[in-house]
Amino acid sequence: MNTQNPILKKSPYSHNAIDFKSIQTQHFLPALEESLALAKRRIETIKSHSKATFENTIVALEEATEELSFVSHLFHNLLYANSNDELHSLSEIIHPLIASFDNDIHLDSDLFSKVKSIYEQRAKLKLNSEDSRLLLDTYLSFTRNGSQLNDKDKSTLRNIDEELAVLGPQFSKNVTQAINEYQLVIKDSKDLSGLPESVVKVAKHEAEEKKLEGWLFTLQMPSYLPFVRYCDHRDLRKEMVTAYARMNTTGPYNNQPLILKTLKLREQRAKLLAYKNHSEYVLEQSMAKTPEKVQHFLLELLEVAKPACKKEIKELQEYVDKIGGPNPIQSWDFDYYSTKFKKEKFHFDEQELRPYFQLEKVVKGVFAVAEKLFNIEFKRNKEYPVYHPDVEVYEVYEKNGEYMGLLYKDFFPHANKNAGAWMTSYRQQGLYQGKIHRPHVSIVCNFTRSTPDHPSLLTLREVETLFHEFGHALHGLLSKCHYRSHSGTNVYRDFVELPSQIMENWVEEKETLDLFAVHYQSGEKMPEELIKKIKAVSQFQSGYANLRQLQFAMLDMAYHNTAAEKIIDVIEFENQVTKDLKPFPIIEGGSTSVSFQHIFAGGYSSGYYSYKWAEVLDADAFEKFKEDGIFNAKTAQSFKENILERGGAEHPMELYKAFRGHEPDTKALLRRDGLL
């Protein structure tokens, strides 16, 4: 491709690193149009062959959209990690263009006839396992996306996909803007009672940055969570929790109309493709396979989690009564009194841990874990351009010197960044322009940044979040697939969380904590007594934690298994579905759904259950590590070869059994959580 567009031109940096400093918003649409035109020419070449073969059709289709895939990934990643009004406006043009092109491919009868002819000859082709998987995936991508519809229905499908392509980004934008807009400014120092000194200092710094008097608290997680856990002022906790619950229910950022529209379009699409509903369509390509199996799985966990949660809330209320707190406790009381109760019951305060979790040392720790397990190392390189000053870039190598990829880390919140934490890819591993290329992956989080007089100190949960996203990054970085569409995290949704969630297990282990958990002032290692407390509290209120996740999963399944015409009011529907799943009274006018980006903007629709499904996988898999030693070289190598390197090149159950020796045991999760 001969182009001067900085998005598409060859990078002047090592390993083809993205030239972020040269890329501007106005470059995206021309880059997309150029890569679209190139892809269309390649598609025409594929169609022109008199005889379709695996190479000139199936592999050629894989390669046809290389540049387009890169441009769309780059745009999408910046839209969520470092956006602006221009990017959001551009998304309303770019996402429909991409959706339209995808339909151009899948709805092309001539192209499908070639794919189908090869698929019908598959027994004679003597393909290896990954080639066979590519052929199956390609065939299903056509049949599942309208290739066999009549012309009228194809036109309808096009319109639906183009509408859906706009709704997801708009939903996400509304959540980000609502979070950014809310401010709780405290001017009386008495109202800061209970808040840790480090939290107060950050709040003061945040206020000064915005030229406000007092202390600033926001709905960003590093501000919100410590506030609701430690602030003694009950009315202020209520204000904060209520603001979060209602932030996208009314006004300019109201997501309720977008939800109703999305549900109708998803249902219409599924029925057009001869599926009963959206869930049935999505789950066809999953380990679970059917909505019925997912429901059975969730109910199996609910049977244990719900009574456990009820018992935990009763125990907490008894503690609150003893110390003269409110009866009954409400949702804005739970985190606050739970934190106090945990401290009394286990003589444990999570704030005791933070001095041992300085961000820079935790990063070195997660690198050290990867080095011990998988023989890889990370070398920071300051020469690479980045899209934001907070971002750092690392080159990743096998111990033998083999280059494995680039890792970008972006850890602090700012106004143009989505809340939460995620891993993503800028370049995927696999076949690209005739060669196997190594990946460029990114971890994006929202941790409390350091201030001039205080380092960034993480909570235990934030440390687990970093290990979680790092597990996804390893899945991308260690991939050794032939095709990009199989590499790294391109796996079934209910398998993708295994590499991430299993990494969280190492956080509780002394062998791991000894690698990095040292006091930021004294340099002393975390005492063994404190490590034992981490273990002891790991099962604290696990019934509540499980029920909370099950509530999200069941709400997701309810939305996508209920006729869209029956869902008239989002808040009313959510309240009806979750009334027996919420341990506290519903906040009037509040809603989880309106900020539920996973299912309305993030690809997890009818897939949120996969977090619990993958917890079963990771609990069962980590039992193997516990049996053999958490840094056992042979076990780690097996996990690397059978799970991390293979991506979606084979069916995930076969990959799992190759590592574990048997199918996952559901009771492993309940054992780990102390619920059996």
Q: How far apart are CA 499 and CA 507, in angstroms?
A: 14
Choose among 458, 361, 447: nearest CA to 410.
447
Q: How far apart are CA 247 and CA 181, in angstroms?
A: 9
Distances in Å between the Cα of 263 and the Cα atoms of 275, 560, 569 are: 15, 7, 12
Tokens representing 202 are 């950050």
Q: Give 480-506 as a DSSP string.
A: --SSGGGSTT-S-HHHHTHHHHHHHGG
Tokens representing 357 are 């979790």
The amino acid that residue 248 corresponds to is N
Tokens representing 255 are 């997501």
Give the largest CA-CA distance in the chain.
Answer: 83
Tokens representing 184 are 């709780």
Query: For 139-228, where are the E strands, in sequence order?
Result: 184-186, 215-217
The reply to whether 469 belongs to the active site is yes
Asked whether the bond before 585 is cis by omega within 30 degrees of 0, the reply is no
Q: How far apart are CA 141 and CA 350, in angstroms?
A: 47
Radius of gyration of the chain (CA): 25
Choose among 89, 88, 111, 107: nearest CA to 159.
107
Task: Give the containing element (helix H, strand E) for 396.
Answer: strand 392-398
DSSP state of 234: H
C-beta of residue 377 within 8 angstroms of C-beta of residue 397: yes
C-beta of residue 548 within 8 angstroms of C-beta of residue 612: no
Task: Show Cβ contacts of residue 84 under 8 Å, excluding neighbours closer than 6 positions.
Answer: 25, 416
C-beta of residue 476 within 8 angstroms of C-beta of residue 439: yes
Q: Give 57-79 as a DSSP string.
A: IIIHHHHHTHHHHHHHHHHHHHH
Q: How far apart are CA 530 and CA 514, in angstroms?
A: 12
C-beta of residue 522 within 8 angstroms of C-beta of residue 361: no
529: helix, strand or coil: helix
Tokens representing 188 are 């009386």
Asked whether the bond before 291 is cis by omega within 30 degrees of 0, the reply is no
Measured N-to-C along each axis, helices 221-230 and 234-246 cross at an angle, to the nearest 10 degrees, of 140
Residues paired with 437 in a beta bridge = 430
Can you say whether residue 674 is alpha, beta or left, with left for phi > 0 and alpha for psi between -120 and 50 degrees?
A: left
Choose among 439, 438, 409: nearest CA to 421.
409
Dihedral pair phi/psi, residue 88, rounded to 5°? -65, -40
664: helix, strand or coil: coil
Q: How far apart are CA 70 and CA 429, in angstroms?
A: 12
Q: Which of 464, 469, 497, 615 is catalytic?
A: 469
Active site residues: 469
